[in-house]
Amino acid sequence: MTDWISVCAVTDIPVLGSRRVARAKGPQVALFRTADDRIHALLDRCPHKAGPLSQGIVFGNAVACPLHNWTIALENGCAREPDEGRTPVFQVKVEDGVVLLDRQELDTVGIDLPPVMAGPCTRVAC
């Protein structure tokens, strides 16, 4: 049985915007809200160079990665052609305006990928 865990209210996420869910390990999970109030969740990690998708511009059913403007479909995490790649998708349930994620997916999906941390930040213990 799926163990749904509530993370926030739909209204906590701006329309055409996003919020992040932090996990103890692994990259965060990005929540997106479309213009018609559908909620999608993706691993917060672009398949291109691991940019944080939660920081991108949301339009239609897609988000543009803030680093190099790859466009990622919110429904399936696939990069728009001709770019190739896919970012993991999390199941989302919305009940009474509350956003729920699957506990097991949160514990497992992409959990071993390094959090987005290249560059100078590795110089200090974060």
Partner 1 sequence: MKKMKLVMVGNGMAGVRTLEELLKISPDLYDITVFGAEPHPNYNRILLSPVLAGEQTLDEIILNPLSWYEENGITLHLGKTVTQIDRIRRKVIAADGTEADYDRLLIATGSNPFILPVPGKDLDGVIGYRDITDTNTMIEAATKYKHAVVIGGGLLGLEAANGLMLRGMQVTVVHIGDWLMERQLDDQAGELLRKSLQERGLRFRMGAHTEALIGDKDGRVMAVRFKGGEEIPADLVVMAAGIRPNTALAESAGLHCHRGVVVTDTLQTVTDPRIYAVGECAAHRGIAYGLVAPLFEQGKVCANHLAQFGIGRYLGSQTSTKLKVTGIDLFSAGDFMGGDGTEEIVMSDPFAGVYKKLVIKNDQLVGACLYGDTVDGSWYFKLLREGRKIADIRDKLMFGESNIGDVGHQGHNKAAAMADSDEVCGCNGVTKGAVCKAIKEKGLFTLEEVRKHTKASASCGSCTGLVEQLLMFTAGGDYSAAPKKKAMCGCTELSHQEVRNAIFDEHLVKLDEVYERLSWKTPNGCSTCRPALNYYLISSWPKEAVDDPQSRFINERSHANIQKDGTYSVVPRMWGGETTADELRRIADAVDKYKIPTVKVTGGQRIDLLGVRKEDLVDVWRDIGMPSGHAYAKALRTVKTCVGSEWCRMGTQDSTQMGKDLERAMWRMYAPHKVKFAVSGCPRNCAEAGIKDVGIIGVDSGWEMYIAGNGGIKTEVAHFLVKLKTAEEVMEYTGAFMQLYRKEGWYLERTVHYVSRVGLDHVKQRILEDHEGRKALWAELQYALDGEPDPWFEFAKAQVDVRQFEPVASIAVPTGAASSESAGASAKTVPAAPLRGPF
Cβ of residue 87: shortest distance to partner 1, in angstroms? 14
19 binds partner 1 (CB under 8 A): yes
Using only C-alpha atoms, the chain has a radius of gyration, in whole angstroms, of: 14
SS3 4: strand
Which of 37, 94, 97, 103 contacts partner 1 by CB under 8 A? 103
Residue list 32-61, contact with partner 1 (CB under 8 A): 35, 49-52, 55-60
In angstroms, the first-to-last Cα distance of the chain is: 36
Contact 55, 49 (CB under 8 A): no
Contact 87, 99 (CB under 8 A): no
Q: How many chain residues interact with partner 1 (CB under 8 A)?
A: 54
Burial track 80-112 (b if 16+ CB lie within 10 A, e otherwise) = eeebeeebbbbebeeeeeebbbbeebbeebbee
87 binds partner 1 (CB under 8 A): no
Please say which residue, 53 or 77, places its beta carbon nearer to partner 1: 53
20 binds partner 1 (CB under 8 A): yes
Cβ of residue 120: shortest distance to partner 1, in angstroms? 4
Q: Which residues bind partner 1 (CB under 8 A)?
A: 1, 3-8, 12-17, 19-25, 27-28, 31, 35, 49-52, 55-60, 64, 66-67, 69, 71, 82, 103, 106-107, 115-121, 123-126
